[in-house]
Structure 1
Amino acid sequence: MNAVPKEMQLCVDACLRCYQSCLGSAMNHCLERGGAHVAPPHFRLMMACAEMCRTAAHFMLTGVPQHRHVCADCASICRQCADSCDGLDGMDRCAADCRSCADACERMAA
């Protein structure tokens, strides 16, 4: 079995952490808070971010060269999600995880 390079593994970890943070926040905090937390643009963005992060991790773990394209898109979506979370109370951890993932994915996309 080929080992995943260290920088890629750090990105996989960041993606999976962001996936867990976005999905968990959406399904728990956002649904419980209601209001702007479940406004369709924000909630859809959180779901897209979670899925994109999961997909980016999957692409890196399978070792396909297209992971660079997926990581670039993931970084963009994560930044948008972080910006959306910034405007809502209780979303600091999710926003931070999104930015961390975006940073890691940008390095993988380069």
Structure 2
Amino acid sequence: MSHEKYRECIDACNRCANACDHCSTACLKEDNVAQMQNCIRLDMDCAAMCRFAAAAMARGSDFADRICQLCAEICEACAKECSQYDSQHCQACAQACSECAKACRSMAA
């Protein structure tokens, strides 16, 4: 079954999506919200992409490897952006994104 074959990557994608959702919401509460716009935007893109990738793997999509390649690219961009900020939510998000990118690259290889 596809969902068992890709369990590690699916789990990484779901953890990343949750971290991105938390980060974007927390960023909206920051005093400098205007400076956090790119972070929030990338968090939203990354969460959506991770959920799409997890669903594609779960259903055994023929495009799962290519979807995961794109997911890895978006996760890496989000990790880079979030790592620039000292807040705990951004640092946790950067870590989850990096782990997801690694899992997606491994799955797609």
Which runs of no fewer than 5 residues in structure 2 stay unpaired?
Answer: none
Which runs of no fewer than 5 residues in structure 1 stay unpaired?
Answer: none
Over 3 Å counting, the alpha-carbon distance change for 1:70 and 1:34 in structure 2 is: farther
Deviation at 1:92, TM superposition (A): 1.1
1:105 corresponding residue in structure 2: 104
Give the % identical residues: 38
Q: Equivalents in 2 of 1:37, 1:18: separation in Å?
A: 24
Deviation at 1:4, TM superposition (A): 2.9
User: What's the TM-score once normalised by structure 2's chain length?
Assistant: 0.90
User: What's the TM-score once normalised by structure 1's chain length?
Assistant: 0.89
**How many pairs are equivalent?**
107
After TM superposition, the runs of 4+ consecutive aligned structure 1 residues lying more than 4 A away are none
Q: Equivalents in 2 of 1:37, 1:96: separation in Å?
A: 23
Over 3 Å counting, the alpha-carbon distance change for 1:104 and 1:32 in structure 2 is: same
Over 3 Å counting, the alpha-carbon distance change for 1:40 and 1:104 in structure 2 is: same
Cα RMSD (Å)? 1.6
Over 3 Å counting, the alpha-carbon distance change for 1:108 and 1:85 in structure 2 is: same
